[in-house]
Structure 1
Amino acid sequence: MNNLPYSVAQRLQSQHLSMAEMMGAVPDEKLQAEIITGKWSALDNAAHLAVFQDIFKGRIERVLEEDEPLFPPYKWEEDPLFAEYRKLPVKELIAVYNDGRADFTRFANTIAPESFGRYGRHSVYGRFSVAELVEMMILHESHHLFIIFKLLRVTPK
């Protein structure tokens, strides 16, 4: 990962570990609770992160193979894997998530240095390089981890 900025490489290696630290000992019932009406539960946010690593990997693969592919926004309502993951017990979901991160990290380590400058486009977020796409994944993950952190501390309404 010598081709990623230092902070991105470091977060890619360790940021995901906070999910198990926050959620590992929390009962599934609490994690599945809709704390804020109409919003995802903590477990839903975790399921989304487990799914999204593969989505980002697929997007990067397309950038490596195609000239500036266009990516539509992700629609969780149409994702059968998300529906499956959100039903898993937290310990299984964390294992899936960690395995996905190991796979993504191995994949990122195989990207040739010159390929980090290749570009893709997102219909909402614009043009981005492979390196920026990895950072986008890490920042997106951070956002959902923070939501999980907050949901575990809020009283249901």
Structure 2
Amino acid sequence: MSPSPSLIRRLETGLDPLSGLLAGASPEQLRQRPPSGKWSAHENLAHLAHFTAVTLGRLERILTEESPRLERLRSDEDPVFLELSARSTEAVVTELQKLRTDLLNRVRGLGDAELARVGVHGAAGPMPLSQWLELYAVHEAHHLYLAFWAVRQVMNA
């Protein structure tokens, strides 16, 4: 049960559509919240950088602790997210890409026994590391989708 080729491929290419998704948006539009009041594209990207850093930490805890309990992430209240949000979008994307490379390199080295180790999610319960990593990839895609729609709503308002 080494990391699935599909997971590795998604970690390698998941951020590839980013520039196309945000094309044509000004820095102000990237930071502007859509009429719904939900996060801006910039905030979604800051969340992804924060979530990637948290995922790296969770991965290490799962590998070194016996079934650690990992609480749900609440970015709005986290100083790291708030600090990332204060940076330029370019700086956030650079940090996200760096963290993503770190995660990919760490995941590539995992073996079957490591992927089977369990972490306990605050809402979803016990999950093997392999599921935590799949959850990461799905969550990332969801926030890229939200960033796209936030930009489109602002540009078309």
What is the TM-score normalised by the length of structure 1?
0.91
The alpha carbon displacement at 1:24 in A equals: 6.1
Say which is worse superposed, 72-81 or 15-24, in terms of deviation.
Answer: 15-24
Tell me the residue number matched to 1:105.
Answer: 104
Superposition CA RMSD, Å: 1.8
Secondary structure of 1:115's match?
helix
Secondary structure of 1:120's match?
strand
Secondary structure of 1:17's match?
coil
Say which is worse superposed, 47-56 or 75-84, in terms of deviation.
Answer: 75-84
Please tell me the residue identity of whatever aligns with 2:61.
Answer: R
Tell me the residue number matched to 2:53.
Answer: 54
- Deviating runs (4+, > 6 A) in structure 1? none
1:126, 1:148 → 2: CA distance? 28
Please tell me the residue identity of whatever aligns with 1:142.
Answer: A
1:150 correspondence with 2:149: yes
The answer as to whether partners of 2:52 and 2:99 remain within 8 angstroms in 1 is yes
The number of equivalent residue pairs is: 156
Which blocks of at least 5 consecutive residues in structure 1 are unaligned?
A: none
Tell me the residue number matched to 1:134.
Answer: 133
2:44, 2:51 → 1: CA distance? 10
Identity of aligned residues (%): 27
The answer as to whether partners of 1:19 and 1:94 remain within 8 angstroms in 2 is no
Which blocks of at least 5 consecutive residues in structure 2 are unaligned?
A: none
The answer as to whether partners of 2:3 and 2:111 remain within 8 angstroms in 1 is no
1:150, 1:127 → 2: CA distance? 33
Tell me the residue number matched to 2:15.
Answer: 16
